Chains A and B, each alone.
Chain A
Amino acid sequence: MTAELRFIDAIHAGLQASLAADDAVVVIGEDVTYGGPFGATKGLADEFGRHRVRDTPISEATVMGMVTGAALTGLRPVVEVMFVDFITLAMDQLVNHAAKLHFMSGGQLRVPLTVRVQGGVRGRFGAHHSQSLESWFTHTPGLKVVAPAFPGDAKPLLAAAIANDNPVVYLEHRGLYWDKGPLHDDPVDGAVVRRPGTDVTVVSYSKMVHSALAAADRLADSGVEAEVIDLRWLAPLDTATVLESVAKTGRAVVAHEAVARGGLGAELAATIQREVFTELVAPVERVGAAFAPVAAAAALEDAFLPGVDEIERAAGSLMAFGPPPP
């Protein structure tokens, strides 16, 4: 354990450690020598040299292709995409190339690439800077996806992403950047139970884990013990931890900030429904954003964003379904 650091500092520390440990690691992106918009890469260019911390033009498509090519030929690039919305520009290179080259080449090629990208709703940026697109990445075979919720997990997950021989999308919620917590270097494998409970399972990841924990506190006040699971890895998905919990509680809520339709919550609901059908006493409830783009006005942004209230309400509604079968 070390001193408490902010989430953004944990990412910085993770990049610093990987750059120091392995000459093949390079950091590439728009304005990364400057530090990026939130300072995640600040000072790294001075420390490791501009040959290893490189700025690019505003050319997301080409840059994604370039880092894929670099990953194929011996580097372990960490590319920063400034907002997840801008990954739309790089989708062809990410989905048609980086994700598939290992498989498509019959295993001859490897793409050890980390795509750092921040997103989510915070700061009234409007529809082009606030999306949560993770289900696109979890839907794409060949990509791995991580989404830390705590500063402590941020560093080892980044190390794991960089060490992985596959393209890994590392999702950062900018609403978490200023959260503080103790750092550690212990490996972060799979999901973790953040709060044990017996009555209902709440599955979440990234910033929404904090809402889930707050909702669990409120539920406890009314005598409902919620078990909160922080997925951490979205692909591969640690379904064993989720299913084990739901088999015990018989009730599940899946909560995320992304639009519910077509989101990861659908996948978890489908899996839970299929795998622990006989243990379920209530339908799987999904908490996700409404089917609308993100509006800019604060009042509208708040309405769009699901949170503690919605999770509490969803979990509460499942309690009406009676006790699990013996």
Chain B
Amino acid sequence: MTPDLPEDQLVDLLRRMLVIRRFEESLIKLAGDFDIGHFHVYIGQESTGVPALAQLQEGDLAFTTHRNHGHLLARGTDPAAMVAEILGKATGTNNGKGGTLHIASPEHGFPTTSAVTGGCTPLATGAAFAFSRRKVDRVSVCLFGDGALEEGSYHESINIAALEALPVIYLCENNSLEALGQKANEYPSSTMAAAPLTDLAASFKVPTITVDGTDTGAVHGAMAEAIDRARSGGGPTFVEALTVRWPGNRPLWPQLATGVTDLTYAWDEGAIPQDHSKWHGAQDGVLRYTRELVTAGLVTTGDVLALDGEVSTQIEDAVQFALDSPYPDPESAFEGVYA
């Protein structure tokens, strides 16, 4: 379903999803030509991150993980500065000090990215602690995958958040649905005895919501409820968003397993190829949201293609900007250790 929002905002959500999709696809293509190191893509989770984070306000903070690109882009971080950072250029968000794993954009509410599993949970809790102590109307969002629940830091953090009724939302993006993991010698998947995962919040008396992460409207609604609770002093919420593991995320290094996304699949069922038909037909949240907007008559197929064209150009320009950017002065490696 589509979120209960004015039409321009609904289209803006689509635009943000496309920015992420085209960004990540470009990165995978770029990795074929350049050694850009190990990285993780957000393909298949755009319909979670975009509606979830679109509702944050200026001053709200979010703490993400190694799979951070989508989150930063969802809040408007400049894709050109992000590609530049990933390529290790001086014009990158962190001037080349961080790379893909540590992209920071405080002006968009991302103070840092921790690449240690579970590292973000105390930090997000701490930001909420600061908001609570400063008595400011701000919320903090902790973004993590199901694997982070295996770390002790999560359990210590949510306990503190619950005890102090902190304005924090733990958004667990469970992207392990249909992941074959080790059974197929693929990128491993999480190992957790608790089921459902929401039990791991309920035991701390934290309210929980489970949503289909490919359902933009459902995610929007769940986060609206959680953010409202946080802002009104009701304390933390645990949201579990379920998404199917994108086939391209299955190997250790992402591959364009389902090809470059063809948005016509959203309205032309006959065009969907046999390979990965389930992905294109039902599991890809971006296609699903596009389909919903077109079906509801909120956008035309022409609008979608035009928007996609704009976004694709923006990303192409971003990549070109990054490629054309200089590398940092090696001596800068020794600068900026202390504030």
Contact = CB atoms under 8 A, between A and B. Distances in A.
A34 B38 contact: no
Contacts of A297: 88-89, 92, 96-97, 99, 327-328
A133 to B, nearest CB: 14
Contacts of A104: none
A62 B156 CA distance: 14
Interface in A115-129: 123-129
Interface in A1-59: 30-31, 33-34, 37, 55-59
Nearest to A124: B37
Interface stretch (A163-171, A203-211, A227-235, A285-293): A285-293
Contacts of B99: 124-126, 295-297
B29 to A, nearest CB: 19
B328 A57 contact: no
Contacts of B118: 58, 89
Contacts, number: 119
Interface in B60-103: 85, 88-89, 92, 94, 96-102
Interface stretch (B45-53, B135-143, B144-152, B312-320): B144-152
Nearest to B331: A303
Most chain B CB neighbours (cut-off 10 Å) among A56, A61, A89, A124: A124
A270 interface: no
A302 interface: yes
Contacts of B192: 57
Given A57-B150, A293-B337, A123 B37 contact: yes
B160 interface: no
Given A296-B88, A299-B328, A126 B116 contact: no
Nearest to A127: B102
Main secondary structure of the interface of B (DSSP, over half): loop
B190 interface: yes
Contact of A129 (B97, B115, B182, B332): B115
B243 to A, nearest CB: 19
A126 B89 contact: no
B220 to A, nearest CB: 30
B114 interface: yes
Interface in A273-326: 290-293, 295-304
B117 interface: yes
B115 A128 contact: yes
Given A298-B327, A299-B330, A300-B330, A58 B101 contact: no
A293 B102 CA distance: 13
A299 B151 contact: no
A56 B98 contact: no
A31 B182 contact: yes
A153 interface: no
A128 B152 CA distance: 18
A295 B252 CA distance: 23
Contacts of A33: 182
Contacts of B328: 297, 299-300
Interface of A: 30-31, 33-34, 37, 55-62, 85-86, 88-89, 123-129, 290-293, 295-304
What 4 A-B pairs are tightest by C-beta distance, nearest first?
A296-B99, A297-B88, A297-B96, A303-B330
